Amino acid sequence: MESLGYLLNGFETALTWTNLLYCLIGVTFGMFIGVLPGLGPTAGTALLLPLTFALEPVSAIIMLAGIYYGSMYGGTITSVLINTPGEAASLITCLDGYPLAKQGRAGAALGIAGIGSFIGGIISIIGLVLIGPFLAKQALKFGPPEFFALVILGLSLLLGLMGKSLLKGMIGALFGLSLAFVGLDQSSGIVRFGFGQIELMKGIDFISIAMGMFGLSELFLSAEASLRGKAPEPPKVTGLLPKKEEWGPSMKAIGRGSVLGFIIGLIPGTNSVIPTILSYSMEKKLSKNPSRFGKGALEGVAGPETANNSYCGGALIPLFTLGIPSSPTVAVLLGAFIMHGLTPGPTLFQKNPDLVWGIIASMFIGNAILLIMNLPMANLWARITMVPFKLLFPIIIMVTIVGTYSLNNSMFDVGAMLVFGILGYLFKKAEIPLAPIILTFVLGSLLEKTLLQSLTIFQGSFLGFFTRPISGTILVIAILSLVFSIVSSVRNKRIITEDVEM
Amino acid sequence: MKNISVYMAVFFLLFSGVMFWESLSMSYYSEYGPGPGLLPLWVSGIIFVLSAVYLVTAFKKDIISFARVLPKGEGLVNVLVCMGSLVLFMVLVPFTGFLIGSTITLFILFSRGYKWYWSLGFSASVAFIIFWVFGVLLQVPLPVNDLGW
């Protein structure tokens, strides 16, 4: 009941005209980047981050969170209409969405995806309301060893799932961690890896890395294709509701997708593609006629689309309660919190209730706006797929340059972005996953701070972590997960998901 | 030696080697507890070892040829133009100011897909809009010339 009172206060914050406007801008931009192939939620969120400097923290995060869950809706449209996922989480939707469009049922596919996304989004936010404050209270009992163990668990799960090669995943993660060491060390006051450069004294800016690795590198990859062709015209969307007999199986798929997406979102180190794959295979297994899948089964669209939206709400729980991002986009959101002087973690619910409940309330509103945007306006969004890339990419590059420059009014940050853009492009070519780099970079200072504090408590003994029940248990799970990944990798049986959410 | 994995492994070896060397100059442990050199030393050391393993696998099984992954012809030119335009922007802007520098950069990018007169129109319009939104509306102190643009 206490949560309900806070939530009502949150609505008071979210329903101001200013915050409604930023919520609308966020979800619209999210839809836009979801529709556009080649630009994902991580790059989109990073792109708008510098523009939020002048905003109130609550408005800024409402807008950036809107981009995150808005892009999940947008990606569906291109998957169904032109068989091209706008973002990775909608890849699985192509399997049945596009065949439905070819049968003249694009409207039904988009309709059920919109309804499922809305239900999944709302259920996961309710889960966030119910579980978030409880988890935050428990996390208040955590000390540095427990937080260190949690970070290690998140990273070990991430490494287990990311990329084709565990070796490259580990190198990537440690590379990201190394970048976090650059600059003034808070505990000793010395400048590390500054190489005499004044600009490096404050460290490498998170935005330069995120914009370079996720934004620029994606643009370079997209630019490899010919810029002279014309985009295909999408089919017209008519009849947004499924047939009478399709409602039952679709709603069951939506229910299962909601629960699945939410639970996977709670696990640090996962990404939005995993629940969609699991949901699709679950629906196929549970179906009375699995042969329909791949030829236009509506449950094959409803389940995964619900799961990826439900995942978004679940993934915010580790961020709000523990300060640990579970995916690259959530890592950018963490960067936004820090940039606005806020510290996500167990104290967030206590110290900034207006902010956190305002953001949660805005997600209810944002999902409602997205439902309206998706169902009656599907044809309008479909037209956006026709905007040629050759017109968009110079504009995006220039906005990226100015956004990065505006961080410190320095060309050094633009240069750093270019360097990380080229590195990101080459890393992708060499199949080195980028997600571990950004996650370890963001978590680097927390990891180092908690490790050093813990070692001071344990008088330098690493075994001290195993003398505390919570940190010991979490570290054992992390070690087991890593060992499992190594064994699976050796046997070539590891579940592989490529870099996603870019 | 047209294998991208080899170059990546060498890059990580050099990167971790430099970091390891630098870490040695920081204190590993102080009288109050662990020093600023502790974690960088360990992390760079582990990267070095993993990179060495990566280098070995790059020769044996992780062979990714340049021909397979790098674009050719028009695609390669597009990518190089994108990268080059950013360098050009950074070089030009301190002398020309934002409006001229960004118009030239945008013109080069637009001209990959449009005829020169369209490119010129698009680049001048986009540069002006971005200058107005960021410089005037959002009050970002963009780099300008003596005339204020």
Which has the closest alpha carbon to A403: A198, A202, A204, A212? A212
pLDDT per residue as tens digits for the range A356-391: 889 888 988 998 888 888 777 777 877 777 778 788
Give domain limits for chain B. 4-69, 73-137
pLDDT for the residue A37: 65
Q: Which of A80-84, A194-198, A429-433, B90-94 has the lowest mean pLDDT?
A: A80-84
Chain B residues whose CB is inside 8 A of the A25 CB are: none
Q: Does any CB of chain A come closer than 8 Å to the CB of residue B45?
A: no
The alpha carbon of residue B134 is apart from the nearest alpha carbon of chain A, in Å, by 8
Q: Which residue of B has its CA nearest to A395?
A: B126
Rounded to an integer, the average pLDDT of A291-296 is 85
Helices (H), A385-434: 389-408, 411-429
> Are A228 and B113 a contacting pair at CB < 8 A?
yes
Q: Which residue of A has its CA nearest to B45?
A: A174
φ/ψ of A164, rounded to 5, equals -80, -30
What DSSP element (H or E) covers A252? helix A244-266
Burial of residue A402 (CB within 10 Å: 0-12, 13-18, 19+) is buried
Q: How far apart are CA A66 and CA A477, in angstroms?
A: 33
Q: How confident is the model at residue A492 (pLDDT cuts 50, 70, 90)?
A: low
Tell me what the pLDDT averaged over chain A comes to: 83
pLDDT for the residue A151: 85
Chain A residues whose CB is inside 8 A of the B79 CB are: 220, 223-224, 425
What DSSP element (H or E) covers B33? strand B33-34
Q: What is the ipTM of this complex?
A: 0.93
Q: Which residue of B has its CA nearest to A186?
A: B36
- B65: which strand partners? B3
Q: Which of A190, A406, A426 lies at the smallest CB-CB distance from B134?
A: A406
> Are B90 and A193 a contacting pair at CB < 8 A?
no
Rounded to an integer, the average pLDDT of A14-21 is 92
A495 occurs within a structural domain: no
Chain A residues whose CB is inside 8 A of the B106 CB are: 394, 398
The alpha carbon of residue A270 is apart from the nearest alpha carbon of chain B, in Å, by 24
Q: Does any CB of chain A come closer than 8 Å to the CB of residue B134?
A: yes
pLDDT per residue as tens digits for the range A216-268: 888 888 888 766 666 667 777 777 788 888 888 899 999 999 999 998 888 77
**Contact pairs from chain A to chain B, CB under 8 Å:** 161
Rounded to an integer, the average pLDDT of B23-46 is 87
pLDDT for the residue B14: 96
Percent of chain B residues past pLDDT 90, beyond the cut? 48
pLDDT for the residue A409: 83
Q: Is A294 helix (H, G, I), strand (E, B) or coil?
A: coil
Rounded to an integer, the average pLDDT of A301-314 is 89
pLDDT for the residue A147: 87
Rounded to an integer, the average pLDDT of B8-30 is 91
Inter-residue contact A77 to A252 (CB < 8 Å): no
Could you tell me which residues come within 8 angstroms of residue A453 by beta carbon, excluding any fewer than 6 positions away? A144
Q: How far apart are CA B136 and CA B141, in angstroms?
A: 9
Q: Which of B47, B114, B122 lies at the smallest CB-CB distance from A178?
A: B47
Q: How confident is the model at residue A18 (pLDDT cuts 50, 70, 90)?
A: very high
User: Tell me, what amino acid is at A427?
Assistant: F
Q: Which of B36, B43, B69 lies at the smallest CB-CB distance from A185?
A: B36
pLDDT per residue as tens digits for the range A117-170: 889 988 988 888 888 888 888 888 888 898 888 888 878 877 665 667 888 888
The alpha carbon of residue A178 is apart from the nearest alpha carbon of chain B, in Å, by 7
pLDDT for the residue B52: 95
Domain that holds residue A177: 2-490
Inter-residue contact A80 to A378 (CB < 8 Å): no
User: Tell me, what amino acid is at A337?
Assistant: F
Q: Is the pLDDT of residue A38 over 80?
A: no
Q: Which of B35, B43, B79 lies at the smallest CB-CB distance from A174?
A: B43
Q: How far apart are CA A377 and CA A32, in angstroms?
A: 13
> Are A226 and B105 a contacting pair at CB < 8 A?
no
> Are A224 and B78 a contacting pair at CB < 8 A?
yes
Chain B residues whose CB is inside 8 A of the A395 CB are: 126
pLDDT for the residue A256: 93
Q: Which of A167, A421, A432 lies at the smallest CB-CB distance from B57?
A: A167
A40 occurs within a structural domain: yes
SS (H, E, C) A182-249: CEECCCCCCEECCCCCHHHHHCCCHHHHHHHHHHHHHHHHHHCCCCCCCCCCCCCCCCCCCCHHHHHH
Percent of chain A residues past pLDDT 90, beyond the cut? 13
Q: Is the pLDDT of residue B102 over 90?
A: yes
Q: Which one of A418, A420, A429 makes the best mutation probe of the B interface by having the most chain B beta carbons within 10 Å?
A: A429
pLDDT for the residue B106: 94
Over the Cα atoms of chain A, what is R_g?
22
A500 occurs within a structural domain: no
Q: Does any CB of chain A come closer than 8 Å to the CB of residue B43?
A: yes
> Are A192 and B40 a contacting pair at CB < 8 A?
yes
Q: Domain tally for chain A?
A: 1
pLDDT per residue as tens digits for the range A95-117: 888 888 888 888 888 889 888 98
Axis crossing angle, helix A353-374 with helix A106-139, rounded to the nearest 10: 170
